[in-house]
Amino acid sequence: MSGIALSRLSQERKAWRKDHPFGFVAVPTKNPDGTMNLMNWECAIPGKKGTLWEGGQYKLRMLFKDDYPSSPPKCKFEPPIFHPNVYPSGTVCLSILEEEKDWRPAITIKSIWILCFFLLF
Say which residues have a Cβ less than 8 Å from residue 110's Cβ, sequence separation at least 6. Answer: 12, 15, 16, 19, 20, 21
Q: Is 4 helix (H, G, I), strand (E, B) or coil?
A: helix
CATH of 3-120, one of 1.10.287.70, 3.30.300.130, 3.10.110.10, 3.40.462.40: 3.10.110.10
- Scanning the chain, the segments in alpha helix (DSSP H) are 3-18, 109-120
Residue of 102, 101, 47, 51 whose CA lies nearest to 77: 47
The count of residues in the chain is 121
Output the tens digit of pLDDT for each of the chain's 121 residues: 579 999 999 999 999 999 999 999 999 999 999 999 999 999 999 998 998 889 999 999 999 999 999 999 999 999 999 999 999 999 999 999 998 899 999 999 999 988 988 888 7
Q: Is 5 helix (H, G, I), strand (E, B) or coil?
A: helix
CA dihedral 86, 88, 91, 97 (to 10 degrees): -60
Residue of 26, 15, 3 whose CA lies nearest to 75: 26
Kindly list the domain boundaries of the chain, sorted by start residue: 3-120
Catalytic residue positions?
93
Residues 42-68 pLDDT 10s: 999 999 899 888 999 999 999 999 999
